[in-house]
Structure 1
């Protein structure tokens, strides 16, 4: 597999707007002290907070991102980075298993929209109702380094459009690359023709996270969806 050097800014990750709002628990209490008590209770079941405190079998807590300044100067994006690696689907995604996540992003927002839209369309298909609206917020990040690159190899089994084929192959590939010391992977989008994507295997390579634009995906009765800036 070829190795490609990158020094790229503003790669796009889309997250549901719900996860970008202030903590929902704050609205249930009157003081910061009460909010801290609720946060401690939440921490007993939060996969991210548990991993930050104790780690997990597949994720050393020292790999995660922690505040590097005073509390009131906490760097933006720390919780988002940690959440990407600690909240996972039980069966994983294309380049991560169920025990350890990854930071998926792309070089173009429409590519990211097609990727997240595919997954939401699958969920709507399970209930047979393709009527929905979903809002997403961009998280922009910068990356620099030398990474394995699957672009130009569309026949690779890890890039199969069928998750039953592509995901096991991709997870095995990612595990092998991580054992070899690689910290991320460049690959062509499976859902958006011509799109380029990147999966970060290591929280430490995700730089300068900042918020971007907001988007709405809408389904009006069919699996096809529209994408609109808001």
Structure 2
């Protein structure tokens, strides 16, 4: 799930601040010089090679963005230089993961008041992934409050040409997630439903399907 504001086909935010077409193109050039996905698609991003990205397939921009726009601190199975495609086997698990991380952001400012829509993207996978389910030796990589072990594991796996990992969700006790390390393996991407997450003073959001 990704915030709807990043979905393909949406109007650029630059249209809201540009005075005219010429100004828009100037702003677009500036954005392009600092946009990691665009830099990667021209071979200028160190974390991922141009040959790894996907082109001319549905939602290629969405797929590439997952690998090019890594969190500055990294995520569970990736560092800050290279992202991954994170997905859950079930919608409820994806919602739990999104809700947890968004709520953690609001906890930092002590305010749980917001309403945000997320688009659910579905994809198919046919690959041999490292399976961390029922693997006690890898329990540190599933720590709820630390990514140190999991990022170290991901770095080693990536260097060994791993395709990704399957692991039990840390935010949904009955859920399963995967982290795919290779853009080309994210197949048959299609857009599912849109969900609205609403925080009204509590850490747990209300989640509803967003109707057109």
Question: TM-score, normalised on structure 1?
Answer: 0.82
Work out the CA distance in 1 between the residues paired with 2:93 and 2:128. 22
Q: 1:104 aligned to 2:93?
A: no
- Report the alpha carbon displacement of residue 36 of structure 1 after superposing the two structures with TM: 5.8
Q: Note the 1:104-143 alignment, pairs <5 A.
A: 104-143=86-125
Report the counterpart of residue 19 of structure 1 in structure 2: 6
- 1:228 is displaced (CA, Å) by 1.1
Rounded Cα–Cα distance in structure 2 between residues aligned with 1:22 and 1:229:
22
SS at match of 2:86: strand
List aligned pairs for 1:143-182, cutoff 5 A: 143-153=125-135, 156-163=139-146, 167-182=147-162
2:34 to 41, 45, 62: 45
Secondary structure of 1:144's partner? Answer: coil
Contact 2:67 2:82 in 1 (8 A): yes
Displacement after TM superposition at 1:29 (Å): 7.6
> Does 1:212 pair with 2:212?
no
CA shift, 1:24, in A, is: 3.2
Query: Which structure carries more relative contact order (alpha carbon 8 Å, separation 6+)?
Result: 1
CA shift in 2, pair 1:157/1:76, >3 Å: same
Alpha-carbon offset, residue 55 of structure 1: 3.3
Q: What CA distance in whole angstroms lies between the structure 2 residues aligned with 1:29 and 1:196?
A: 47
Q: Partner residue of 1:4?
A: none
Matched, 1:189 2:169: yes
Note the C-alpha offset of 1:218: 1.4
Unmatched tracts of structure 1, length 5 or more = 1-13, 68-74
Larger strand proportion, structure 1 or 2? 1
Show the counterpart of 2:180: 200
Gaps spanning 5+ residues in structure 2: where? none
Deviation at 1:208, TM superposition (A): 1.1
- RMSD of aligned Cα (Å): 2.0
Q: TM-score, normalised by structure 2?
A: 0.89
Deviation at 1:35, TM superposition (A): 6.1
User: Which piece of structure 1 moves more, 90-99 or 220-229?
Assistant: 220-229
Q: Could you list the structure 1 runs, at least 4 aligned residues long, displaced by more than 2 angstroms after superposition.
A: 21-31, 33-42, 54-58
CA distance in structure 2 between the partners assigned to 1:65 and 1:29 by the alignment: 34
Distance (whole Å) between structure 2 residues aligned to residue 43 and residue 120 of structure 1: 27
Aligned residue runs from structure 1 range 54-133, under 5 A: 54-67=43-56, 75-133=57-115
Task: Report how many residues are paired.
Answer: 206
